[in-house]
Amino acid sequence: MPKFALPGLLVAVFIAAPLLSTHSFVHHLLIMVLFSTLLGLSWNLLGGFAGQVSFGHSAFLGVGAYTTLLFYLKLGLSPWLGLVAGGALAMVVAVPIGLICFRLRGPYFSLATLAVAEIIRLVALNWEELTAGPQGLIITHLPALSLFGQTVNWESKLPFYYLIALLALLGMGLTHLVARSRLGAYLLAVREDLESAEAVGIDTVLTRVLALALSAMLVGLAGGFYGLYFRYIDPDAVFSVALSVEMVFIAVVGGIATTAGPIVGAIVLVSISETFRSQFQSGHLIFYGLFMMLVIRYLPDGIWGRVRLALKQVRER
Amino acid sequence: MKQMLRCLLAASLTVISSAALAEDALKIGAPQPMTGADAPFGDKFKKAYSMAIEEINAKGGVNGRKIEIVIEDHQAKNPLAATVAEKLITEDKVLILTGGRASGQAIEIASVAQRLKTPYLVDHPSADAVTAKGWDWVFRQNPPGSIYPEAFHKFITEVPGAMPKSVAVVYDNTLFGKTIAAATIAFLKSKNVPIVADEAYPVNTLDFKPIMTKVKAANPDYLLMMAVATTDAILMTRHAKEIGVTPRAFVGFGGGFGVGDFATQLGPLSEKVFSSASWSGNPNDPLTAAFYKNYQAKYGLHPHEHEVEGYSVIYVIADALKRAKLTGNLEADRDAIRQALLTTDMQTAFGKTKFGNWTGPNGDQYTNQNIYSPEHSVLAQWRNGQLLNVYPKDNAETAYAFPE
């Protein structure tokens, strides 16, 4: 297979997907799938490749979301600039957090991430001059933008779809590069055996900080997108533990430490939660939970991990 | 094979007939939390909506057409609230939205409704922002948060000698707590009442003694306490009394001070504590009294604010549907309903409802906010384990006990 066939196909699918339906709700679900994909990709970089389980990734999502909205609402700068700044700032915030938390290992690291997210939530809640506290930030209209001579219609879904598709592709590209780079190899070494990794001369703290920074950048971009798409953020919504846990689920169900896992996880989770919800008004979370248990019990490598294994076996036969 | 065909035929017939019925019914959409921690509230609204809809349909519906409510679960999550609002509007093709339950979700729903040009009549969410962003497709029947202390303000202004000489204000750092504190502090400052303590705390605080020690040192004439969470309301009152804070009046604001647990947990300590209670209709009004009685008979549960709001909002919607000229064109019908809501002027179990644009006590510029909201505030007092309305007089169930 030529080198660019698979990515080319993926880009084609991403471009074509929303054109198959005129229902704006279908477009919305596609956006949710890609948004979840980006969350899963971000968590996967750190949790999957480096084996550092974070329960506080919403901290970086919130930083990205607040940066984007504040850039627009307070400074009057273009929200698209704010989106990029959000990703960058999430990265900057991640470095000192990483330097402190990576002194801890295993469950202690996980607990520290939980605490960091809570601290940042409380700062956002109480620093009212900057964040408007519990009132949150609301965008009532987005600035006009013209692209290739056409005015972008922010009331329609397509611009948002292509924006998140671009971000998801960026995330997948980054994951692909990391997985094949020296950094990827270091991360695997750190995940498998921290002492051995150190013994062969890997700077394990720096390696993990790098992984965290890249991961934070992706989720920061996702946060900026969240702010622009949903147009309302408050500390409890963007710094929530539930959101952090969702990121873990997407990566785990899809298949940790794989490039395609998060998108598989996102497609499966968004579609099953939508299906169950439309079937059962109040009992649907039971089925969702049951599904999670089955996946963890029978597919510990995730759905994509399992498929990849099967494909490999077929090829070797 | 033949049997299978017959089954298929029967199945398709039921599908067709139910589709025909569904087309005939006028659909109202309601995003509510049906699962998760807020599920009990979603259930309250579901019961209230169903009761109103059954009553209206039993009397022949709206202009001969039945009305129907489509509830979608948003799990108290903001992104999901936007998702289900979108689904109700574009897939279920509802004519109007209501519900929402909490303010964060209501803002998402309002933002979607505004963009997709579908009226959204808010029945419970209280954040001022919901009707203060200039969204002309959004209406609200219930009072915004900053209106909640209105009855207390009337009480201290109108009752001789009740104006506080000084107050201490202790509030949780939620949107609700902060909004109420801001509204009441602004009012008291306008009356030149000194604020001797101004203390914010996080929700689910376990120890209020440090705060109450400060409050005691300030020796306030009134202690004003804001709490969304019941445990905060209970612990705050207990610790204030244990530390020996002795103001002329303890006044609680917010959900925590209005639930039965407050009296059962505190026992005699709850006696004579005022609660600036959330509005649940005027108990002396025959419409409201009848609703309370019928609801109790139907479900065996005592209704409160949520049920009154949910039940009444359906009547406001039915009234607008009745007056709007519906043509079957979804976009035109939604606009006709919005126009009809603009001229709503009616009495329900909740109280008087008429939407208008006005300025709130914290300076918010409301659009389509019930203009009678300032009347929809009531001061209640705990007496022998019961919370009874005491002010204003028209809504009072008993006389206030003040000063002791």
Domains and CATH numbers, chain B: 2-145+284-371 (3.40.50.2300), 149-277+378-395 (3.40.50.2300)
Contacts of B135 in chain A (CB under 8 A): 140
Given CB atoms, is A284 within the 8 Å cutoff of chain B? Answer: yes
Write down the pLDDT at residue B118.
97
- Mutation target to probe the B interface, by most B beta carbons within 10 A, among A25, A30, A154, A279 is A25
Contacts of B111 in chain A (CB under 8 A): 138, 140, 230-232
**Min Cα–Cα distance to chain A from B59, Å:** 28
Nearest CA in chain A to B91: A25
- Mutation target to probe the A interface, by most A beta carbons within 10 A, among B32, B72, B87 is B87
Q: Which of A134, A230, A281 sits opposite B82 (nearest CB)?
A: A230
Question: Number of residue pairs across A and B with CB atoms under 8 Å?
Answer: 79
* Average pLDDT for chain B: 90
**Min Cα–Cα distance to chain B from A20, Å:** 17
Helices (DSSP H) in B267-376: which residue ranges? Answer: 286-299, 305-323, 330-342
CA distances in angstroms from B67 to B15, B113, B134, B360, listed in the order given: 19, 20, 29, 34
Please indicate whether, in this complex, the C-beta atoms of B178 and A23 are within 8 angstroms of each other.
Answer: no
Q: Which of B41, B48, B39, B108 is nearest to A285 (CA)?
A: B39
Contacts of A23 in chain B (CB under 8 A): 90-91
Please indicate whether, in this complex, the C-beta atoms of A135 and B87 are within 8 angstroms of each other.
Answer: no
Please indicate whether, in this complex, the C-beta atoms of B202 and A140 are within 8 angstroms of each other.
Answer: no
Given CB atoms, is A127 within the 8 Å cutoff of chain B? Answer: no
Nearest CA in chain A to B114: A140
Reading chain A (317 residues) residue by residue, the pLDDT tens digits are: 566 778 888 888 888 889 888 888 999 999 999 999 999 999 999 999 998 999 999 999 999 999 999 999 999 888 889 999 999 999 999 999 999 888 887 788 889 999 999 999 999 998 988 998 888 999 988 887 777 777 788 888 899 999 999 999 999 999 999 999 999 999 999 999 888 998 999 998 999 999 999 999 999 999 999 999 999 999 988 998 888 988 999 998 998 888 889 999 999 989 888 888 877 767 777 888 888 888 888 888 888 888 888 888 888 87
How far is A101 from A177, CA to CA, in rounded Å? Answer: 25
Nearest CA in chain A to B106: A232
Q: How many CB atoms lie within 10 A of CB B335?
A: 16
Please indicate whether, in this complex, the C-beta atoms of A236 and B83 are within 8 angstroms of each other.
Answer: no
Write down the pLDDT at residue B238.
95
- Scored b (16 or more CB within 10 A) or e, A278-290 reads eeebbebbebbee
Q: Which of A136, A226, A282 sits opposite B35 (nearest CB)?
A: A282
Please indicate whether, in this complex, the C-beta atoms of A237 and B127 are within 8 angstroms of each other.
Answer: no
Write down the pLDDT at residue B9.
46
Helices (DSSP H) in chain A: which residue ranges? Answer: 5-16, 24-43, 58-73, 79-101, 106-126, 128-131, 158-180, 182-192, 194-199, 204-230, 235-238, 241-254, 261-279, 284-298, 302-316
pLDDT level of residue B402 (50, 70, 90 thresholds): confident
**Min Cα–Cα distance to chain B from A122, Å:** 9
How far is B25 from B23, CA to CA, in rounded Å? Answer: 6
Write down the pLDDT at residue A277.
80
Write down the pLDDT at residue A2.
63
Given CB atoms, is A271 within the 8 Å cutoff of chain B? Answer: no
Please indicate whether, in this complex, the C-beta atoms of B77 and A242 are within 8 angstroms of each other.
Answer: yes
How far is B195 from B179, CA to CA, in rounded Å? Answer: 16
Residue boundaries of the structural domains of chain A: 5-239
CB B276 within 8 Å of CB B251:
yes
Please indicate whether, in this complex, the C-beta atoms of A133 and B35 are within 8 angstroms of each other.
Answer: no
- Mutation target to probe the B interface, by most B beta carbons within 10 A, among A138, A164, A245, A246 is A138
Please indicate whether, in this complex, the C-beta atoms of B111 and A138 are within 8 angstroms of each other.
Answer: yes
Q: Which of B73, B82, B129 sits opposite A135 (nearest CB)?
A: B129
pTM equals 0.88
* Count of alpha carbons within 13 angstroms of residue B246, beta-carbon side: 2
Given CB atoms, is B204 within the 8 Å cutoff of chain A? Answer: no
**Min Cα–Cα distance to chain A from B378, Å:** 25
Residue-wise pLDDT for B218-254, tens only, equals: 999 999 999 988 899 999 999 999 999 999 999 999 8
Interior CA angle at A239 toward A235 and A245, to 5°?
150
B246 phi/psi in degrees, rounded to 5: -130, 70
Residue-wise pLDDT for B179-203, tens only, equals: 899 999 999 999 999 999 999 998 8
Q: Which of B107, B177, B114, B113 is nearest to B148 (CA)?
A: B177
